[in-house]
Structure 1
């Protein structure tokens, strides 16, 4: 049974004046660091809030910005084909430059609580994995992790400026292994792991969930943050 969400809704403001929502969860004690969770195309829904809460329980000040708010506010979709089509349609209306502004606002919010020397990492899932890559390349974050993102390849000509970790499923029908090889060739310092799973293997609300792969990827993500933040 899913745990009750423990965080709070907040309002963020990007540098261009755009105001948007975010879901913020605080740890019980002093935060180890800050973590930004970047959504799938299904919005900041219950699954993403659960991910935020889980990292807060692990000791991180954790925030999921509502990155679809520039097109439509309050988007929370399920995982059926109609929801997928709707999410992809919204995603297609947002420019990468605007996404960077919104993620930077989330970074600024966490650093405002942690102090300017506080470390902030980013984790993204599916489309959000490309957002995490974008943050690593363009923003002042300390570490970034991407899960099973096919959109990274739109940004393969940009170089991560912080440690970057990638998780992929070997049975993922969306991610082309030729593209993974292209990332490896272009960015030899980026670490990646391949799991015996499909797309969305971290999401326990879908049929693609793979508990063993999700657990291993999670442990590697936490270790990666401990080493780099």
Structure 2
């Protein structure tokens, strides 16, 4: 069952919408699905639906709500891709983390106090890393996260398991950035990095031209196992 819900901000002075997919029975745990720069579009909604089929309460908050509520863009349509880049330039990532934290509170209450995980893609992968460092999220996964070397100074604060999927041919994360990620994060016991040789940014998108079926299946299988291990009651 899917629906749109309203989640109060941390201050309680406002609220934002989120797409929610619920499992058939009581949820095993809750997972926050963190959007790419394209909003809570059909691909992100489908990610939620699939997690609900696995038994999770899945919720995708609209993190661009202060800029343009309800935005849904297609990365394969060039004008929409450029529109997404414009939104990214205006997006306050620190405020986005606070909205994710508000979503954690909502998901924890809505699931009856179950553990809460997060999985994010592109911008959402970066935000998943920031969420691991700045909140009490129980487990986090980031796909093709951008700009992580700039955030390595926060790695000491990662208290719960974090997994990052890194395509080695990522046009937005050059080899030197990937090298810095491995050097900074491989020594940390809570962090696991997986490389995907020859794959590019967006390889695990649910729909569209960027998807690589074999790579997406491998990464999603690792994510499923990771959440089963770390979100079990």
SS of the aligned residue for 2:90 comes to: coil
Q: CA deviation at 1:97?
A: 2.1
> 2:224 — aligned with what?
222
Aligned equivalents of 1:50 and 1:37: distance in 2?
Answer: 10
CA drift of 1:28 comes to 0.9
Match of 1:206 among 208, 213, 222: 208
TM-score (norm 1): 0.93
Unpaired stretches in structure 1, ≥5 consecutive residues: 1-5
Alignment of 1:20-99 (within 5 A): 20-79=16-75, 80-99=77-96
The 2-side partners of 1:199 and 1:177 are apart by: 13
> C-alpha offsets along residues 185-205 of structure 1, whole Å, 9 cap, x if unaligned?
222222111113211111142
Asked if the contact 2:33/2:59 (under 8 Å) is kept, the reply is yes
Hey, what's the Cα distance between the residues in 2 that align with 1:205 and 1:34? 23
The Cα of 1:172 is off from its aligned counterpart by 1.6
Structure 2: tracts of 5 or more residues without a match:
none
Could you tell me whether the CA contact under 8 Å between 2:30 and 2:117 is conserved in 1? yes
CA–CA separation in structure 2 for the residues paired with 1:103 and 1:122: 9
Q: TM-score, normalized by length of structure 2?
A: 0.91
Aligned-pair Cα RMSD in Å: 1.3
The Cα of 1:206 is off from its aligned counterpart by 2.1
In the other structure, the counterpart of 2:102 is 105
Residues 18 and 154 of structure 1: is their aligned pair in 2 closer, same or farther, counting only changes over 3 Å?
farther
Q: Displacement of 1:43 after TM fit? A: 0.3
Moved over 6 A (4+): none
CA contact (8 A) 2:125 2:141 kept: yes
Is the 8 Å Cα contact of residues 35 and 63 (structure 1) preserved in structure 2? yes
For residues 219 and 23 of structure 1, what CA distance do their matches in structure 2 show? 23
> How many residue pairs were aligned?
223
CA distance in 2, matches of 1:209, 1:138: 30
Kindly state the Cα deviation for residue 115 of structure 1 after the two structures are TM-superposed.
Answer: 2.9
Match of 1:162 in 2: 160
SS at match of 1:192: strand
Match of 1:141? 137
Tell me, what secondary structure is at the counterpart of 1:64?
strand
**What's the counterpart of residue 185 of structure 1?**
183
Corresponding residue for residue 115 of structure 1 = 112
- Matched residue, 2:127: 131
CA contact 1:42–1:77 (8 Å) conserved in 2: yes
Aligned to 1:151: 147
Q: Deviations over 1:107-126 (max 9, x none)?
A: 1111112233x110000001
**Residue aligned with 1:166, SS:** strand
Cα distance in 1 for residues equivalent to 2:88 and 2:230: 30
> In structure 2, what is the Cα distance between the partners aligned to 1:18 and 1:199?
34
- Could you tell me how far 1:38 is from its partner in structure 2? 0.3
